[in-house]
Amino acid sequence: MAAIEVNPQRNSERLTAIEAILPHLATKTDIANLRVDMEKLQSSLIKWFIGTWLATVAILAPLMIYILSRLPV
């Protein structure tokens, strides 16, 4: 088994590096807020996809009917 390092200078450097990273990590509140934002975005995207699909069908269906009615039988 490896021995535990007892080097105060090295341990101090490692602690300083960890403390420098800590402010950038997400908290539980940050994750909860992100989850709410993602749920709102998802519902908004679904509405846009359905609306775009319906608009496309509403434009293309009459156009196809018109084109097909003009073809000689």
pLDDT one-digit tens code per residue, 36-65:
999 999 999 999 999 999 999 999 999 999
Number of alpha helices (DSSP H) and beta strands (DSSP E) in the chain? 2, 0
Which of the 8 DSSP states describes residue 25?
S
Identify the band that residue 27 occupies on the pLDDT scale cut at 50, 70 and 90. very high
Which of the 8 DSSP states describes residue 19?
H
Which of the 8 DSSP states describes residue 73?
-
pLDDT value of position 2: 62
- Whether the pLDDT of residue 7 is over 90: the answer is no
pTM, two decimals, is 0.54
Cβ atoms of 5 and 11 closer than 8 Å:
yes
- In angstroms and rounded to an integer, the radius of gyration of the C-alpha atoms of the chain is 30
The pLDDT mean for the chain works out to: 91
pLDDT value of position 64: 95
Place of tokens 């990590």: 25
Write down the domain spans for the chain. Answer: 27-73
